[in-house]
């Protein structure tokens, strides 16, 4: 019997642990069929090491398994079992780099503010590892996710717990009514193949190229939108005050791992809004300490520890004054004091919002108790569905797992469509001007 190969991915954390017990069982069950399982390391550490072979000893160099799988995915004989993997935020990436360095791998540090050509090259390599870097390479088709009938039947017979919903719940979703991506979206359908260029034109009329030689096929859609930072900051300030006045937990729900350019920036604005005038008053000190609000409150506290003692005391006193005017934050870990704003990758909307809805529309407060919550989802594009779900639960009570149905999920992700294609076409404007998408034909 000819041997059939299946590529089985080695990833991170819980799936990596599960592989140690599951893969030997799978191999034993399929051995008589002549099926061979080939382990491919696409873990965060593996992808870091494969990106910097020039920094490693000969016995430390590892192959670029993700590139190999990307090529395999285009072949008709491809069989790939892809386990969940980390879509790393900057703090997670930095932790992984430090761990590898401690173990003797001389991979370079992540340049937070690259200046030299070498630092820019290193930053560009790490940018390909950040966020949802694996799925766009492996997903050559659209995803079709449907629950199998035996799984659904089991769930109905063995329902998980559901918190009670009360009509008096103050939990709600808050979203922008103007200045968001939803409000500015424009789309055009291309009649012919063409090549476009994305340019920035400053207020003096000078242009610079942000993205060149972007091939567009016939029938493809170009879609563009913009979020106003001014509108975002006004919105966040209002929501912080409203959460405080209503005695609600404040929480923000993003997907900074998938939307790895736009969402960390929005998250950073939320962190700065929460810290208030501190970030302006001590701007130079925090900048010298390497503070980046996009990395969360954990980076603020890290930067604070590096300042001289007197400066730390001054900022901590100012911080306490600010916190006295702020709402309580929803917690990721109440015991350890890890808040919703600590790390951008700690609260992922497609997990955090369903979890909140399952627990009576509440999240955990600093006191370790559940609280009604203001769930801030700045952009309207996907905020409404959650508010509609909350409204339903307030009117009808919690969902009944024994009778409720399910929704099939078809993801349009082939050829880096939709959000998968946005990573290298999303830009933050650092000065006044206009971004133009120009047809070169």
Q: Which of 373, 129, 379 is nearest to 254 (CA)?
A: 379
- In which domain, by residue range, is 117 found? 4-139
At residue 90, the pLDDT reads 87
Asked, for residue 434, whether it belongs to a domain, the answer is no
Whether residue 370 sits in one domain with residue 233: yes
Whether residue 165 is found in the same domain as residue 306? yes
Domain shared by 115 and 176, yes or no: no
Same domain, 247 and 374: yes
Sheet with 207-216, side-by-side order of all strands = 207-216, 194-202, 433-439
375 in the same domain as 309:
yes
Indicate the burial class of 267 (C-beta count within 10 angstroms; 0-12, 13-18, 19 or more): buried
Residues 90-94, mean pLDDT to the nearest whole number: 90
Q: In this structure, are 96 and 171 located in the same domain?
A: no
Instruction: Tell me if 173 is assigned to some domain.
Output: yes
| Residue 3: predicted pLDDT | 54
Has residue 423 been placed in a domain?
Answer: no
pLDDT digits (tens, 9 = 90+) for 219-274: 988 889 999 999 999 999 999 999 999 999 999 999 988 788 899 999 999 999 99
One domain for residues 78 and 172 = no
- Examine the domain organization and report whether 119 and 171 are in the same domain: no
Distance between CA atoms of residues 441 and 314, nearest Å = 58
DSSP β-ladder status, 143-145 and 409-411: antiparallel
User: 7: phi > 0 → left, psi -120 to 50 → alpha, else beta; which?
Assistant: beta
Do 135 and 167 reside in the same domain of the chain?
A: no
Tokens 């000065």 found at: 431
- Using the 3D structure, point to which of 105, 139, 173 is the last residue of a domain: 139
Same domain for 132 and 255, yes or no, is no
Classify residue 355: in a domain, yes or no. Answer: yes
Confidence of residue 2 (pLDDT cuts 50, 70, 90): very low
Domain tally for the chain?
2
CA pair distance 243, 238, nearest whole angstrom: 9
Q: What is the SS3 assignment for 376?
A: strand
Residues 90, 232, single domain; the answer is no
Task: Look up residue 171 and give its DSSP letter.
Answer: -
Same domain, 132 and 247: no
pTM of the predicted model, to two decimals?
A: 0.84
The most distant pair of C-alpha atoms in the chain lies apart, rounded to whole Å, by 75
- Asked if the model's pLDDT at residue 405 lies above 50, the reply is yes
Q: What are 355-397's pLDDT values in tens digits?
A: 999 999 999 999 999 999 999 999 998 899 999 999 999 999 9
Distance separating alpha carbons of residues 202 and 431, to the nearest angstrom: 7
pLDDT at 4 over 90: no
pLDDT in tens, 182-232: 999 999 999 999 999 999 999 999 999 999 998 989 998 888 999 999 999
């Amino acid at each position: 019997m000819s041997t059939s190969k299946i590529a089985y991915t080695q990833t991170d954390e819980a799936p990596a642990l599960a592989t140690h017990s599951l893969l030997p069982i799978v191999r034993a069950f399929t051995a008589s069929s002549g099926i061979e399982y080939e382990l491919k390391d696409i873990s965060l550490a593996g992808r870091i090491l494969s990106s910097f072979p020039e920094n490693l000893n000969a016995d430390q160099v590892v192959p670029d398994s993700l590139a190999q799988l990307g090529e395999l995915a285009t072949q008709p004989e491809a069989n790939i079992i892809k386990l969940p993997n980390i879509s790393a935020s900057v703090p997670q990436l930095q932790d992984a780099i430090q761990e590898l360095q401690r173990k003797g791998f001389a991979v370079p540090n992540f340049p937070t503010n690259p200046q030299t050509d070498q630092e820019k090259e290193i930053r560009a390599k790490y940018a390909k590892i950040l966020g949802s870097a694996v799925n766009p390479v492996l997903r050559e088709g659209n995803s079709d996710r449907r629950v199998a009938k035996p799984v659904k039947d089991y769930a109905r017979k063995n329902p998980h717990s559901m918190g009670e919903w009360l009509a008096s719940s103050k939990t709600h979703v808050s979203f922008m009514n103007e200045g968001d991506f939803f409000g500015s979206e424009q789309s055009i359908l291309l009649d012919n193949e063409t090549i476009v260029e994305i340019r920035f034109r400053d207020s003096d009329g000078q242009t610079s190229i942000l993205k060149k030689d972007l091939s567009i096929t016939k029938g493809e859609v170009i879609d563009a939108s913009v979020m106003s930072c001014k509108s975002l900051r006004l919105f966040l300030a209002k929501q912080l005050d409203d959460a405080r006045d209503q005695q609600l937990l404040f929480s923000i729900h993003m997907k900074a791992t998938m939307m790895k350019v736009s969402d960390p920036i929005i998250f950073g604005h939320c962190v700065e809004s929460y810290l208030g005038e501190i970030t302006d008053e001590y701007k130079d000190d925090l900048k010298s300490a390497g503070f980046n609000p996009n990395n969360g409150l954990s980076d603020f506290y890290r930067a604070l520890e590096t300042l001289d003692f007197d400066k730390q005391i001054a900022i901590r006193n100012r911080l306490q004054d600010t916190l006295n005017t702020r709402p309580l934050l929803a917690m990721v870990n109440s015991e350890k004091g890890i808040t919703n704003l600590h790390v951008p990758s700690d609260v992922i909307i497609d997990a955090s919002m369903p979890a909140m809805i399952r627990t009576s529309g509440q999240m955990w407060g600093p006191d370790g108790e559940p609280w009604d919550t203001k769930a801030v989802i700045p952009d309207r594009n996907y905020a409404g569905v959650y508010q509609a779900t909350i409204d339903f639960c307030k009117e009808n009570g919690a969902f009944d797992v024994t009778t409720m149905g399910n929704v099939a999920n078809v993801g349009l992700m082939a050829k880096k469509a939709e959000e998968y294609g946005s990573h290298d076409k999303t830009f933050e404007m650092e000065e006044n001007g206009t971004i133009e998408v120009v047809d070169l034909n």
